[in-house]
Chains A and B, each alone.
Chain A
Amino acid sequence: MPLDTSTYALAHLRLDGRRWNELRRLHAQISTQAAADGSSYLEQGNTKVLCTVSGPQEQKGGRGGARDQGNEAKVDVEMNIAAFSGMDRKRRARSDKRVQEMQVTIASAFQSTLFTHLFPHSTITVTLHILSQDGSLLAACLNAATLALIDAGIPMSDYISSVTVASAPSSDQSLDEMDPLLDLNGLEEQELPFMTVGTCGRGPGGGEEKVMVLVMETKVQMARLEAMLSVGIDGCKQVRGILDGVVRSHGKRVLESKVS
């Protein structure tokens, strides 16, 4: 691999100058689109995601009927990776398995976090537009979807916050260990074994975060998992704090505009 991370071992700094446990700049806005029930825009480094939520609403189209008989709302996720989002222009077919897998992941993660039993016979549609991708795509989508669902006012038990962690050769070369790295960019993702962790808090005083989503697709030694997982869960906590800040500052703005 031409672009190696071996410099990390020397300087303790990653390709973009971060330390091992630093997140990239995470910037988010909510209520970005007036036309949707809920919307958000999230930048995690150079990964940019726009999310809109519509619903809960009656299922549209002909395929309703049999499917919305359940006494729980169904979460539908549509993901659209813009052709210009990557380095090279590439149009992704909607039937791409990788995209479908992410859709399934996001849908089923929120299915169990949202209080879907409050909206029987209905559908909540989450649409994600990926405008630019530079690593941690699934994590950014989960975070953006959380914000948009909060904006839509759909009750949920807690934020789902997500982050990626990798395992890199240790900075201390005398040890035969691996250092976990938090929040990968596109280059790091191509080189290092990594996993996406998504956790859901348990509300105030509810105890420890629970892992909702855990996706890893590269080979890694079992022994390294523990370090990766604990750093990941910790990173999710940080992300949750940032997301919470976004929601609170938006709430404050809304209240202020109502007063004046």
Chain B
Amino acid sequence: MAPYTGIPLSPAELSYLHTSLSQHPPIRPDARSPTAFRPLIAETDILPAANGSARICFADGTEAIVGVKAEVEKTPSASSHSINSHSINGEVADEGVRGLGSGGVRDVEDDGMDVDGGEDGKQSSKGRDEWLEVAIDIPGMRDDDALPVFLSAMLTEALLADGALKDKLYINTRFHWRLYIDILLLSLPLSYPLPLLSLTTHLALLATRLPALVSEKDEDPLFNDDWEASTHLYPPTKDETARQKPPITLLVMSVGENILFDPSREELAVADAVVAISVTQSHTNTTGPDADADADADSPNPLHLIALRTIDPPSRLTAAGLPNSLNTSAGAGAGAASQSLSSVEVAVTREKDQGVSVWRPPRGGVKRAVLARMIKMVVQAGGVGEEVLGGLRGVEI
């Protein structure tokens, strides 16, 4: 999937960029260090009607707003008796609301529930994947365009892989919260908007508060209507570093052996490989084998890799440069020479050039060693991941 097309750079410019980015150390167009991020403006709790909200504005003018809304929903119960009565009701209702959409969707979910309701293995995690919904709105694009669908899939994947979030939505055996994360990109996507959206979602989730529950156990849920008493979805702790946090997704690109963070639009145009890395802080309340591992670790909250996706770099769509020896318009002599070349010879000459003298879009994948270094740079203690989280800690919530 192409993030965007129409890169306004010539093969010569691309080649220049690529060369400067493959220096040691790399020279980036805006003179940043490889791990430096561009400055951003962030604020939270900007919307009165949402449970949590955040806005981030990048220096290049791209801006996103995220609103998180939670609704109480009935959990279809696992016991067979109530399933029967429920589905009968569902069918009757379905006739009336056909074409309304939401009613139909809910019924489909009910069917899914029946199947895995009997599974006892599910008991360890109380949450279900479908309790979380991420929707992305990008101006000028339809909702079913590839970019928003792909982005929301990636963000959902990271949030769910964490495991902690969906468990937080559990109220009791009969009810749960349904969390809607609506992401609004306000400007046209200049660079690949994934990190912007991920960071904004991160802040919005940190700011999300749910009304405090006053009912007990399996009663119909009753909430304290005092917003002051509401609880954070991710409760704040005295030591901010120890606070449990939603995952973040960073965009990392490589040029040759160099690894660059927070690539700009121009840099992406010459990337050899682009990878989206989602990391989260391991949390103390996880049960299972890795809880012990956490306790042994040096750092109080080492970062964990939870999702990794390679992204088709836009550089693949750029036009290749033409080696001078093949340039028919360069001069009479060269022209005469190239006309005598057969198409096979032309292809061979092009292949041999291999991007040595002119720009050629990258081919193939990323080296395993480079990928390993990328991940390491993000997750290691004092690495980029911690740096970003530290930076976001500065945002008042």
Residues of A within 8 A of B (CB): 33-36, 46, 48, 50, 52, 78, 80, 82-89, 91, 94, 127, 129, 131-134
Contact = CB atoms under 8 A, between A and B. Distances in A.
Contacts of B188: 35
A83 B180 contact: yes
A46 B180 CA distance: 21
Given A34-B61, A132-B47, A82 B67 contact: yes
B48 A35 contact: no
Given A35-B187, A86-B49, A88-B71, A78 B137 contact: no
A80 B184 contact: yes
A34 B22 CA distance: 31
B187 A89 contact: no
B387 interface: no
Contacts of A85: 47, 49, 67
B49 A84 contact: yes
Of A48, A85, A89, A132, which is in contact with the most chain B CB atoms at under 10 Å from its CB?
A89
A84 B53 contact: yes
A84 B47 CA distance: 9
B197 to A, nearest CB: 14
A129 B186 contact: yes
Contacts of B67: 82-85, 131
A46 B62 CA distance: 25
Contacts of A129: 65, 184, 186
Contacts of B61: 33-36
Nearest to A34: B61
A94 B144 CA distance: 12
Contacts of A86: 49
A88 B49 CA distance: 9
Given A36-B187, A129-B184, A87 B62 contact: no
B155 to A, nearest CB: 15
A35 B62 CA distance: 7
A83 B186 contact: no
Q: Which one of A46, A50, A87, A131 has the greatest number of beta carbons of chain B within 10 Å?
A: A131
Contact of A80 (B135, B139, B180): B139
B243 interface: no
B50 interface: yes
B61 to A, nearest CB: 3
A128 to B, nearest CB: 10
Nearest to B68: A84
Q: Is the interface of A mostly helix, strand, loop or mixed?
A: loop
Contacts of B43: none
A89 B182 contact: yes
A52 B62 CA distance: 13
Which of A48, A84, A129 counts the most B-chain CB atoms under 10 A from its CB?
A84
A226 B137 CA distance: 42
A35 B190 contact: yes
A33 B63 contact: yes
Interface residues of B, number: 27
Nearest to A127: B139
A84 B180 CA distance: 8
B65 to A, nearest CB: 7
Interface of B: 46-50, 53, 57, 60-63, 65, 67-69, 71, 135, 137, 139, 142, 180, 182, 184, 186-188, 190
A35 B60 CA distance: 7
Given A34-B61, A35-B60, A35-B61, A84 B69 contact: yes
A15 to B, nearest CB: 16
A50 B53 CA distance: 15
Nearest to B60: A35
B65 A131 contact: yes
Interface centre among B47, B63, B69, B186, by most chain A C-beta atoms within 10 angstroms, is B186
A24 B46 CA distance: 18
A34 B62 CA distance: 9
A190 B46 CA distance: 25
A46 B68 CA distance: 17
Contact of B135 (A35, A46, A83): A83
14 contacts: A35-B62, A35-B187, A35-B190, A46-B48, A48-B47, A52-B187, A82-B65, A83-B137, A84-B47, A84-B68, A84-B180, A91-B135, A127-B139, A132-B48
A134 B135 CA distance: 22
B186 A46 contact: no
Contacts of B65: 82, 129, 131
A89 B69 contact: yes
Contacts of B53: 84
B139 A89 contact: no
B69 A52 contact: no
A97 to B, nearest CB: 15
Contacts of A50: 186
A120 B48 CA distance: 42
A84 B182 contact: yes
A48 B68 CA distance: 16
A89 B180 contact: yes
A48 B184 CA distance: 14
B63 to A, nearest CB: 6
A84 B50 contact: yes
A237 B67 CA distance: 34
Contacts of A33: 57, 61, 63, 186-187
Q: For B53, B62, B67, B68, which residue has the most chain A Cβ atoms within 10 angstroms?
A: B67
Contact of B137 (A34, A36, A82, A132): A82
Most B C-beta atoms less than 10 A away, residue of A33, A80, A82? A82
Contacts of B142: 94
Best-buried of B48, B71, B142 by chain A (most CB within 10 Å): B48
B288 to A, nearest CB: 33
A84 B65 CA distance: 11
Contacts of B71: 88-89
